[in-house]
Amino acid sequence: MATHRPRAIRLEASSFCQLRCPSCPTTTRAIHPAVGSGFLRIDDFRKLLDDNPWIETIELSNYGEILLNPGLADILALAHARGVTITARNGVNLNSARPQALEAVVKYRVAAMTCSIDGASAETYARYRVRGDFAKVIANIRRINALKRDYGSELPHLTWQFVVFGHNEHELPLARRMAAELGMSFAPKLTWDDEISPVKDRDFVRRELGISAASREEYAAATGEDYMSSICHQLWDEPQINWDGKLLGCCRNFWGDFGGNAFADGLVPVLNGEKIGHARAMVQGLAPARADIPCTTCDIYLGMAARNRWLVRPKPRLRARLARRLEALMRRFRLAASRRGSAARASRSP
């Protein structure tokens, strides 16, 4: 069997969060047995890059707020120096950000950031993002945009993620307009917890999201698969590493690990361990569930098993072609962004 060595990984930069979103496992402390509370350390990050020079892309966000990590600027600087693309697509809340951290996000060319903003007004936003300050979030976005102009950069690409609830659905059109005015993409998302403020106008929500479902349950009934089933591909394509080196496998898992430590034992050995190998077979319906595998109690896996509809992986040759295309696109993207930045700086020179 070939050694598994993906070019992209997920690595939690901070599992601390200053907000208290009601159904988030960080708020309820459900993450503590496996994820715990901590920051990614620059020494661990440097060792990971030293030992695995083939890594090209790292996603830094997961269950915490990456901007709370006091060493974030150093982490971004090192990644930039090594030519490693950094993203924060899983999400940031942008409520607390040191000026040097915001500048580092632009200076060291973080490729993309998803901003979790579930409302278009202070009152609506704070209903779910408890302790959050809408005005501060928008101000930090404007600050990032100003820094992008100063550096002559289009990076990071910013996305406004809007989790849809009953209390905020009426602000979807306004949030979409505000996102456009701020130069952000807009990404509405079905909530994972229908017990907290369920949607009211289901037809309106379906139209706004452009899908035939106003809840994840509806989505599963209509499509025969879980709304977030694509997460399972992370076991191969972007395995999740905790801030302390534990192998979590995917961004959904917060209750167990797959054994080994990417910092102490090496990334390649833990990614090729027996437990994660069994998990990959499980989600394809090729192996039975086992009590020591975190996937066994995951709602996504349980839904697959109930429907007898398993994850389908691309064929190896197709995966290789897609990887080559993605690599070529990323090279062209970085080159074009660099040229635009150089041109912008030159135009401001006396």
**Percentage of residues in the chain with pLDDT exceeding 90?**
87
Check residue 2 and give its pLDDT. Answer: 73
Chain Cα centroid distance, residue 306 = 27
pLDDT at 13 over 70: yes
Cβ contact 289:214 at 8 Å: no
Report, as an integer, the average pLDDT of 69-95. Answer: 98
Report, as an integer, the average pLDDT of 239-264. Answer: 97
Using alpha carbons, select from 251, 300, 271, 262 the residue that is nearest to residue 64. 251
DSSP state of 66: G
pLDDT at 140 over 90: yes
Distance (Å, rounded) from C-alpha 178 to C-alpha 215? 24
Report, as an integer, the average pLDDT of 182-193. Answer: 96
Report, as an integer, the average pLDDT of 24-50. Answer: 95
pLDDT at 329 over 90: no
Distance (Å, rounded) from C-alpha 174 to C-alpha 171? 5
> Phi, psi (5° rounding) for residue 297?
-105, 10
Q: pLDDT digit string (tens) for 331-347?
A: 666 566 555 555 555 55
Of the given ranges (46-60, 152-166, 193-207, 330-344), which has the lowest mean pLDDT? 330-344
Using alpha carbons, select from 46, 78, 49, 72 the residue that is nearest to residue 60. 72
Check residue 304 and give its pLDDT. Answer: 95
Cα dihedral value 125, 136, 174, 142, nearest 10: -150
Q: pLDDT digit string (tens) for 298-316?
A: 999 999 999 999 999 988 7
**Percentage of residues in the chain with pLDDT exceeding 70?**
90
Using alpha carbons, select from 292, 227, 308, 288 the residue that is nearest to residue 256. 292
Report, as an integer, the average pLDDT of 210-239. Answer: 95
Domains and CATH numbers, the chain: 8-313 (3.20.20.70)
Mean residue pLDDT across the chain = 93
**Which residues fall within 8 angstroms of residue 336, CB to CB, at 6 or more apart?**
none
Distance (Å, rounded) from C-alpha 192 to C-alpha 298? 13
Q: Detail the DSSP E strand segments found in 95-239.
A: 112-116, 157-164, 185-190
